[in-house]
Amino acid sequence: AQKITQTQPGMFVQEKEAVTLDCTYDTSDPSYGLFWYKQPSSGEMIFLIYQGSYDQQNATEGRYSLNFQKARKSANLVISASQLGDSAMYFCAMREGWVGANNLFFGTGTRLTVIP
Amino acid sequence: ETGVTQTPRHLVMGMTNKKSLKCEQHLGHNAMYWYKQSAKKPLELMFVYSLEERVENNSVPSRFSPECPNSSHLFLHLHTLQPEDSALYLCASSRDGRETQYFGPGTRLLVL
């Protein structure tokens, strides 16, 4: 089974509107971390936000927030007040466990296009 | 200085060539990673080094050979590659194996 599932290959949003990018994950480990990365056409993977499995509150970083629903195993990214520069690929990723936890499992990504 | 740098940014090579990709991190991290990103596939972890020791090798073909001379530098030596090895190769680093990974800009490799 896939560890990370992103079901939206592409999304469109009007500039200044909010958009939610979906991510579900699969793990039986009680300790895990969830990450979102942005990849513009230039190729660099830019870290956006992190949520730990034991964190009580949803993570927020500026215009990015993570809607963490543990029971549903979902970690959706919400981008508020979209800007043209937000157009990019967005990847959800998960790290399992704590000991030797070097591997990040990535989803297939969602291409976000912001419309002027 | 950008956190993680990679050179070259673009590389075209024939199947009989030998080339190397270089990654350098200026973040004081102890772990470094090579990933392969092919079209329409999730990122694939290739190699992990922690404190200059290889800790993971995800069954990567021997035509890819990593080298980590110190905690700031990571190389990926390439020889006798196949056209299906054409991809974006991303380097990343993290403070340790559990911390957030920070990526470089990648090397776009085309094997003819």
- Asked whether A45 and A35 are in contact (CB, 8 A), the reply is no
In chain B, % of residues over pLDDT 70:
99
Whether A50 and chain B come into contact, CB under 8 Å, resolves to yes
Could A33 and B98 be called an inter-chain contact, meaning their C-beta atoms sit closer than 8 Å?
yes
Whether B33 and chain A come into contact, CB under 8 Å, resolves to yes
In chain A, % of residues over pLDDT 90:
84
Q: Alpha-carbon distance B65 to B49, whole Å? A: 13
Whether B46 and chain A come into contact, CB under 8 Å, resolves to no
**Which residues of chain A are within 8 Å of residue B103 when distances are taken between CB atoms?**
37, 44-47
Phi then psi dihedrals of residue A86, to 5 deg = -80, -10
- Assign B78 a pLDDT band (cuts: 50, 70, 90): very high
Across B67-89, average pLDDT:
95
Could A100 and B103 be called an inter-chain contact, meaning their C-beta atoms sit closer than 8 Å?
no
Across B78-105, average pLDDT:
92
Tens digit of pLDDT for each residue in B24-75? Answer: 999 999 999 999 999 878 899 999 998 878 877 778 999 999 999 999 999 9
Residue B100 amino acid letter? T
The residues, ordered by sequence, that sit 6+ positions from A49 with a Cβ below 8 Å of its Cβ are A35, A36, A59, A60, A61, A64, A65, A66, A77
In chain A, % of residues over pLDDT 70:
95
The residues, ordered by sequence, that sit 6+ positions from B61 with a Cβ below 8 Å of its Cβ are none
B42: nearest CA in chain A?
A108
Whether B102 and chain A come into contact, CB under 8 Å, resolves to yes
Residue A46, exposed/middle/buried by CB under 10 A (0-12, 13-18, 19+)? middle
B83 SS3 class:
helix
Tens digit of pLDDT for each residue in A54-105? Answer: 998 999 999 999 999 999 999 999 999 999 999 999 999 999 876 655 678 9
Whole-number pLDDT of residue B39? 86
Residue whose C-alpha is closest to residue A35's, from A105, A92, A101, A86: A92
- Does B12 score more than 80 pLDDT? yes
**Which residues of chain A are within 8 Å of residue B104 when distances are taken between CB atoms?**
44
Average pLDDT across chain A, whole number:
93
Whether B5 and chain A come into contact, CB under 8 Å, resolves to no
A35: nearest CA in chain B?
B100
Whole-number pLDDT of residue B99? 84
- Contacts with A, B 47-66, CB within 8 Å: 48, 50, 55-56
Tens digit of pLDDT for each residue in A85-96? Answer: 999 999 999 998
Whole-number pLDDT of residue A101? 56
Whole-number pLDDT of residue A100? 59
Residue A85, exposed/middle/buried by CB under 10 A (0-12, 13-18, 19+)? exposed
